[in-house]
Amino acid sequence: TPVALTLHDEPTASRDYVQARLGAADLAIWDARGADEYRGEKLSSARGGHIPGAVNFEWTAGMDPQRGLRIRADIAEVLQDLGITPDKEVITHCQTHRRSGFTYVVAKALGYPRVKAYAGSWAEWGNLPDTPIER
């Protein structure tokens, strides 16, 4: 039996969208990669570093190993301290949007109203010759 699907673009952010929003006061870019990737020391793309203004909080740091890797109980406070707050549009990414799938779910579970996933992630951003990068 055929299933009718309706796809919505709202939960996703394209590279153009991310680039157009850089520097916005109401934007938090959550980089879920490891610190060495964020700093540009470990390369998985042509260029290393991070999207300008991105905040690095490695995805597994949001898990509680004592509770079967569930979302850690203090995650709201941790994100608040990092500036990843519900009043901002949160765009989450990693290298290939596998790890940041978890961070997207965390923000949604916390009730953040504006959460987007940059599916292209660093695999796209870091392989383009003209996207801005910070180290």
For residue 28 the two structure tokens come to 């938090």
Question: Cα 130 to the chain's mean position, in Å?
Answer: 20
Q: Could you list the active site residues?
A: 94
Cα-based distances in Å from 57 to 7, 29, 109: 29, 10, 17
Query: From the CB of residue 28, how many other CB atoms can be counted at a distance below 10 Å?
Result: 24
